[in-house]
């Protein structure tokens, strides 16, 4: 039977290339599913359900956030002179985006013809749970893969998430112009 702790901290057992492969597959799967049902992830914390523009847009959205999270957490770990392997941090940060597969599946519920109020009552808690789950995974990814703890961990986590959100807000429109 699976240990429930692995749902919030799989990085005690999964890191490096294995985490990278699972993370990239999750990002690709979430993007592909979202591309078929109109789910969008335009920044780190927002999920929208709208018209589909194909799988490239959601993959680019999730991928851009994962790249920004990785780069910013790497810079912060370097500033704090943490001892870390790039492949571990890239893999675990990518894997922290896995809950977006569930968010992408939420878009299919709207296509079932269920009343909008019921769909909204199901999807809104799903968004909150998946966002919290993704942030918990990101926290543990940075903690374990960047070998940070205490105030350095919290500063890195805060700077990484806030800066990623700001970068996504600033640059996603430019990324849309490239991919659309």
- For 23-81, write each residue's pLDDT tens digit: 999 999 999 999 888 888 888 888 888 877 777 888 888 999 999 999 999 999 999 98
Contact (CB, 8 A) for 14 and 95: yes
Residues in the chain, total? 180
User: Which pTM value belongs to this model?
Assistant: 0.90
Q: What are the extents of the domains in the chain?
A: 13-179
Cβ contacts of residue 162 below 8 Å, gap of 6+? none
Predicted confidence at residue 111, as pLDDT, reads: 67
Which tens digits make up the pLDDT trace of 69-126?
A: 999 999 999 999 888 899 999 999 999 999 999 999 888 877 677 788 888 888 899 9
The model's confidence at residue 1, banded by pLDDT at 50, 70 and 90, is: low
């Amino acid at each position: 039977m699976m240990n429930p702790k692995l749902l919030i901290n799989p990085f005690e057992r999964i890191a490096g290339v294995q985490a990278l492969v699972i993370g990239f597959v999750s990002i690709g799967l979430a993007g592909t599913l979202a591309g078929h049902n109109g789910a969008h992830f335009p920044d780190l914390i927002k999920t929208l359900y709208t018209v589909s523009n194909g799988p490239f847009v959601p993959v680019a959205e999730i991928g851009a956030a994962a790249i920004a999270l990785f780069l910013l957490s790497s810079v912060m770990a370097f500033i704090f002179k943490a001892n870390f392997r790039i492949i571990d941090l890239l893999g675990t940060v990518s894997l922290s985006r896995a809950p977006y597969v569930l968010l992408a599946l939420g878009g299919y519920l709207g296509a079932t013809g269920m009343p909008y109020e019921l769909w909204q009552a199901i999807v809104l808690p799903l968004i909150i749970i998946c966002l919290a789950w993704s942030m918990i995974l990101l926290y543990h990814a940075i903690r374990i893969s960047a070998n940070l703890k205490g105030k350095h961990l919290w500063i890195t986590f805060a700077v990484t998430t806030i800066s990623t959100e700001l970068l996504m807000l600033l640059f996603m429109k430019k990324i849309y112009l490239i991919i659309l």
